[in-house]
Amino acid sequence: MKTLKRIAILTGGGDCPGLNAVIRSIAKPAMAYFGATVIGIEDGFEGLVEGRHRDLSYRDVSGILHLGGTILGTSNKGDPFHFPVVTPSGIEVQDCSSRAIDHYNDLNLDALFAIGGDGTMHIVDKFSDMGLNFIGVPKTIDNDLASTDVTFGYDSALSVATEAIDRLQTTASAHHRVMVVEVMGRYAGWIALGAGLAGGADVILIPEIPFHWNKVFEFVQERSRRGGRFSIVCVAEGAKPADGDIVVKEKDVRRTDPVRLGGIGELVGKKITEATGLETRVTVLGHLQRGGSPTPYDRILATKYGSMALQLATEGKFGYMVSLRGTDVIGVPVKQAIMKLRTVPPDSQLVLAARAVGTSFGD
């Protein structure tokens, strides 16, 4: 067993419920069993590049299990290999990984735990190849990381989206409207599929199943003709028509993936009204899905992930990511986890179950 005397933790990418639970489950046993100094890197990899960090006390990591967000702060614009630097001529993207390595070495770390999604895991892989002792903990509400059955944060986001659909059902029924709900899910439709199925959405549009406009129009019109005086359409932000592309809200060069999606909900609502004459309203959940307290499931999963991450470090298994397989949390090489995105199989049981109860995917 490797003795851990100095460890660091950072949270990268978008925030989500459960981050603090992971921080707690790494820091507390590290302090209790190893007497380790636990360092919190501020604002993700951005803080590692810029040398911003602080020592965490036992008190800092107590009473945070139920809290959303992250006590360390985070950033989705801090990739050390694609780092935005302000120059006299404007923002310039540079490779600042050497600065991150210098700060890592200055801290004399036995291990650094990086909690994040696909982008964070790619950074973990690069630094691991360079000889740094990194361990990844998978976090993303999109649930799109391969090699794990589920990422923490997904269940909490699913709960928020499902409750929103439940609430919109009543107002849609009262006013006899088509309600379009846009949820997150850039390239994977797990939130839209799960919330749509749990909330009884009539139409679910996801990135993995390109839809046809006329199929959507015909479906809501047929519901109206049969006496269904309202319809719920749940659409992932990355959904796209078969003859079109994803809707891009803006591009930000400071991000590794500069594309920021958004607007498909408004487009779907507008086209339904124009084609059918049915009154339509659009709700974009946006960052509501990231906020608030984690569900009990996510609190438990995050705690299991953190404790296993610490165990992997004691075994010297660096360049690994914790993963849920069935009911067990194990370690897998991070290279395996980033080989591809975990997307919804069009023939999955969830899709088939939704189709069985009459849900349309617009295909």
Q: Is 55 labeled as catalytic in the residue annotation?
A: no
Q: Which of 118, 142, 144, 202 is catalytic?
A: 142
**Cα–Cα distances in angstroms (integers) from residue 130 to residues 19, 98, 109, 126, 222, in the given order:** 26, 11, 15, 7, 59
Other Cβ atoms closer than 10 A to 189: 32
Q: What is the dihedral of CA 227, 272, 211, 219, to 10 degrees?
A: 10
Do residues 101 and 48 lie in contact, with contact meaning Cβ atoms separated by under 8 Å?
A: no
**Cα–Cα distances in angstroms (integers) from residue 75 to residues 37, 70, 119, 227, in the given order:** 24, 11, 11, 48
CA 124 to chain CA centroid, nearest Å: 17
- Closest CA relative to residue 293, chosen from 139, 190, 114, 157: 157
CA distance 276 to 214: 10
Do residues 33 and 307 lie in contact, with contact meaning Cβ atoms separated by under 8 Å?
A: no
- 257 pLDDT band, cuts 50/70/90, is low
81 residue type, one letter: F
**Direct distance between the N- and C-terminal alpha carbons of the chain, in angstroms, rounded to an integer:** 54
Higher-confidence residue: 328 or 247? Answer: 328
Run of H or E residues at 139: none
CA distance 60 to 41: 14
* pLDDT tens digits, 25-65: 999 999 999 999 999 999 999 999 999 999 999 999 999 99
* pLDDT over 90, % of the chain: 80
* pLDDT over 70, % of the chain: 96
* pLDDT tens digits, 77-125: 889 999 988 888 888 889 999 999 999 999 999 999 999 999 999 999 9
Do residues 178 and 230 lie in contact, with contact meaning Cβ atoms separated by under 8 Å?
A: yes
Q: Which two tokens stand for residue 156?
A: 């909490």
Per-residue model confidence (pLDDT) at position 259 = 63
Which residue is listed with tokens 């964070």?
A: 120
Q: In what order do the strands lie in the sheet with 37-41?
A: 53-56, 37-41, 6-11, 111-116, 134-138, 320-325, 328-333
Q: Domains (ranges, CATH) in the chain?
A: 6-152+294-337 (3.40.50.450), 154-291 (3.40.50.460)
Do residues 176 and 350 lie in contact, with contact meaning Cβ atoms separated by under 8 Å?
A: no
* pLDDT tens digits, 183-211: 998 899 999 999 999 999 999 999 999 99
